[in-house]
Amino acid sequence: MTYRELAHDAARLANLLHSKGVRPGDRVVIALPDGLAAVKAFLGTMLLAAAPTPVNDALTTEDYAFLIADSGATALVSLQGSVAEKTAALFPALILLSCDAIGPRTLSEHSADFAAAPPSCPDAPGILLYTSGSTGLPKGVPHGQDSLVIAAKGLRALEIGPSDVLFCVNKLSFVFGVAVSLGATLESGATAILYPGKLDAHDLLAEIARTRPSVLFCVPTLYNLMLRAVRSGAPGIDLSSLRLSFSAGEGLPLPLARAWMDLTGVEMMNGYGSTETFKLVFCGVLGQTRPLSAGLAYPDYELKLVDEDGQPVPDGAPGLLFLRGPCICAGYWLRPEDSREKMLDDGWLATGDVFIRDDGWYTHQGRADDMLKVGGTWVSPAQVEDVLRTHPAVQECGVAGRLVGGLTRACAFLVLHHDASSRPPHELTAEIMRHARDNLPPPMRPVSVHFVDDLPKTPSGKVQRSKLRQFHEKGKQQ
């Protein structure tokens, strides 16, 4: 689809929504798979000065009912016959717009002229994003519509141009997917690849070979699985179209970055942002490969790293990140208590993320609530996972804290390679524990390993360490 065709269809969709009764300031829940219909719905809603509220298209009735009610949506745009559409029956006043993969069937009947509506009031959300709910119920994060433009500019460090083909694995229901597949694409005139389904490593490799992206945006978990798929001899691999790989969403392990760069021969960059910031706060620099680091801070942010007492920490020491700057969400949607906890009165956002600063480069150490204090030392689960993943039997792993004798210790949950899964568990346990003993300082070594079929993950592929913690808490209660 060309930009001209997209502009016309977005205008048609704005007219269609308006004719059904959607007005500036309303929320429009968009529960569509990534594709043309989703982009048209997003942009059409923005033209109307209503707030696109993109959500995952593979949720349950209960999830959709929560999101529709929580957002106070006026309208729902969804696929015909989908779970989301069926959920609309629970909300008699909800305006329903049914689509196929291209958009609403009656779209061509509407005018392609639409004068962008002015915002209804300054406080109405321009875009309403939802957190993935990895630590509880999803929270609405309102942003102005200008945040999309600012977020797109935050990706200029990647020097994206009209000849680029961008493939972002993060869906349009996530902030990074919106920032890349919509923001950066529209800002630069590039081409976006939108894949409608869930991608596993083999699907993704096949799509890369077929669609030939120049820049791949992906989470480390999937880079790891792709790498292992390539090494195990998956057929039809062609990564030659890539000029850059970008990693976001979780800390990027150095061995993984090195292995991926060796495989592809292209640079790998890292970045850090959140649903609350919309824009990347840290980003790598082209030509200065430091994959372990989330990058340098954008100059439009004011940052501080502090210890538990709120005192600034020196370079090299882990500290909690607080930041102030452009397009930071001023408060969660209808969640005053959560807002007070994170969005402080003086404009600082308490990110809950721990970083180390070294010569201006920031390296993510994990979530503050994922970090473990073992024997007086902060332990980053991500660093323990990095080492455990270097054992040949380990395909994926997640590390969380558990109490042993009242003290917090690290424990590991491992998904084994299929060729290792038939080995006796006690033999593998001994081998992996010895591997940890040989490669990690004592506070970081797990006291137990558990072999599991799958790790609990958010829809964007991040390991949910909070759920791993619950494994032991539940076991204790039983």
List of residues contacting other proteins (CB under 8 A) = 375, 404-407, 409, 426, 429-430, 432-437, 442-443, 445-448
Distance, in Å, from the CA atom of 272 to the CA atom of 156, rounded to the nearest integer, reads: 14
Q: For the CB of residue 419, give the shortest distance to other proteins in the complex, in Å.
A: 22
Q: For the CB of residue 464, give the shortest distance to other proteins in the complex, in Å.
A: 23
Q: For the CB of residue 406, give the shortest distance to other proteins in the complex, in Å.
A: 6
Closer CB to other proteins, 4 or 426, in the complex = 426
Residue 142: Cβ-neighbour burial (10 angstroms; 0-12, 13-18, 19+): buried
C-alpha dihedral over 237, 459, 255, 426, to 10 degrees?
A: -100
Closer CB to other proteins, 418 or 476, in the complex = 476
Give me the residue label for tokens 């323990």.
384
Closer CB to other proteins, 438 or 454, in the complex = 438
Closer CB to other proteins, 312 or 375, in the complex = 375
Residues 232 and 269 sit within 8 Å (Cβ to Cβ): no
Alpha carbons within 13 A on the beta-carbon side of 317: 11
Q: What angle do CA 319, 322, 323 make, to 5 degrees?
A: 140
Q: For the CB of residue 460, give the shortest distance to other proteins in the complex, in Å.
A: 32
Distance, in Å, from the CA atom of 138 to the CA atom of 175, rounded to the nearest integer, reads: 13
Q: For the CB of residue 410, give the shortest distance to other proteins in the complex, in Å.
A: 9
Residues 317 and 356 sit within 8 Å (Cβ to Cβ): yes
Length of the chain: 478
Closer CB to other proteins, 94 or 433, in the complex = 433
Closer CB to other proteins, 330 or 447, in the complex = 447
Bridge partners of 361, per DSSP, are: 296, 358
Q: For the CB of residue 426, give the shortest distance to other proteins in the complex, in Å.
A: 6
- List C-alpha distances in Å: 354 to 88, 261, 447, 462: 40, 26, 24, 17
Neighbours of 313 (CB within 10 A): 17
Backbone angles phi, psi at 30, to 5 degrees: -110, 105
Closer CB to other proteins, 421 or 448, in the complex = 448
Q: For the CB of residue 381, give the shortest distance to other proteins in the complex, in Å.
A: 15
